[in-house]
Homo-oligomer: A and B are copies of this chain.
Amino acid sequence: MTAPRKATIGDVARHAGVSKGTVSLAYSGKRPVSEETRQRIFDAAEELQWTASHRARALATSRTGAIGLVVARDPEVLATDAFFSKFISGCERVLAEHDMGLMLHAVTSSEAERLVYERLAAGRADGVILLDVQVEDPRFELVQRLGLPAVVLSAEEPTGGETAGLPTVYSDDSPAVTELVGRMAQAGHTRIAHVAGPDHYIHGRIRREAFAAAMREQGLDGSLVVEGDFTAASGRDATAQLLDRADPPTAILYANDMMAISGLSLAHSRGLRVPEDLSISGYDDSELSAHLSPALTTVSTGAVQRGQIAVTTLLAEIAGEQPRHVLADHTTVVPRGSIAAPPGTPTRTAP
């Protein structure tokens, strides 16, 4: 039962009667190997059940074959984030093609976070993707000092060096928010509120600014904003605060699905019908949002595609290509049943 020593490239070479170099070449194809010896080598490898040692290859090539992803969020929040796992799945898709993997790190302090990046830079990963970017994120400087290739994922175009020159995969969250406000206004709503994400997150801030701008365009008062933190708890509390007002909103635009769903639930429990009494929208297109009753109007973020693009961009940078910013916009509004005319609207306002 004691594990037999694993075969090495040397064993295969000996077995096939060639040099180690030739075995290596037969697999990499970096230089031609005669069909005959190639076959001998494959047979020997098969017989010895040999697979190249990843560790040895990593040292020889100075490439680890992994990229790093560090998440500095409470696991509770991570759990409920529809974006995250779709994003990872997109990353995997292209990593697999390149025979690479994803090193995931969950940290809870910024001290631990710094340490993790240092370890990654010490050869545990060939590069990293920076998620949940904050305004003037300290990681920008950190990765550059560490010489660690990185791409940042942002919700706005880094026109003025917002991402410190690091290659950035960005989308623009604004149009979807504008469209959502437009739909609500069109349905006849005037008192529209926004439950925002934290302002220090770019995607929190952008969605909020887009809300304000869209309301202004519609000639409406865009000041009814409550800041949440993307958790269900904060969604419920913010909603309670809004509904408790003397002049409660007739529509609420939430910065993510999670907050929208707990908000929806609270509204229901207060006897409000959605969408008849209250219209709402989310952001993220989580699986749950599509199967609620009524289903939640939300925004699909193209998370899988962004994962793919982010990794592709990172690999290009690692390969030494000139870093560039790339627009990855698959953001689109998914209209579902949670928006209707406000209460008291005549059944049909024919044009």
Tell me which of B3, B65, B75, B269 contacts A293 (CB under 8 A): B269
**A75 cross-chain contacts in B, Cβ below 8 A:** 85-86, 88-89, 304
Asked if A298 is at the interface (CB within 8 A of a chain B CB), the reply is no
Q: Which of A10-18, A26-34, A133-141, A283-291 lies at the interface with chain B?
A: A283-291
Quick one: given A52-B122, A56-B59, A96-B112, are A79 and B268 in contact (CB under 8 Å)? no
Name the residue on B nearest A115 (C-beta): B96
Does the CB pair A54–B124 fall under 8 Å? yes
Q: Which of A38-46, A198-206, A258-266 lies at the interface with chain B?
A: A258-266
Asked if A336 is at the interface (CB within 8 A of a chain B CB), the reply is no
Name the residue on B nearest A261 (C-beta): B288
CB-contacts of A107-144 with B (<8 A): 107, 112, 116, 118-119, 121-124
**A121 cross-chain contacts in B, Cβ below 8 A:** 51
Tell me which of B103, B264, B292 contacts A101 (CB under 8 A): B103
**Bound CA–CA A66/B75 (angstroms):** 20
Does the CB pair B85–A99 fall under 8 Å? no
**A265 cross-chain contacts in B, Cβ below 8 A:** 264-265, 291-293
**Bound CA–CA A290/B80 (angstroms):** 13
Asked if A77 is at the interface (CB within 8 A of a chain B CB), the reply is yes
Tell me which of B52, B106, B291 contacts A232 (CB under 8 A): B291
Asked if A282 is at the interface (CB within 8 A of a chain B CB), the reply is no
Quick one: given A58-B58, A262-B288, A268-B268, are A123 and B53 in contact (CB under 8 Å)? yes
Name the residue on B nearest A102 (C-beta): B104
**Bound CA–CA A173/B218 (angstroms):** 54
Asked if A231 is at the interface (CB within 8 A of a chain B CB), the reply is yes
| A52, A287, A290 pick with most chain B CB within 10 angstroms | A287
**A85 cross-chain contacts in B, Cβ below 8 A:** 75, 78-79, 106
Fill in one digit per residue for A48-81: 1 if any B CB lies within 8 Å of its CB, else 0: 0001111110110010111000000001111111
Sample (29) of A-B pairs whose CB atoms are under 8 Å apart: A51-B121, A51-B122, A52-B122, A53-B122, A54-B119, A54-B123, A55-B59, A65-B124, A66-B103, A66-B124, A75-B85, A75-B86, A75-B89, A78-B85, A79-B84, A80-B286, A88-B104, A92-B105, A102-B104, A232-B287, A232-B290, A233-B287, A261-B288, A262-B292, A262-B293, A265-B292, A265-B293, A266-B293, A270-B293
- Closest CB-CB distance, A94 to chain B, in whole Å? 12
Asked if A249 is at the interface (CB within 8 A of a chain B CB), the reply is no
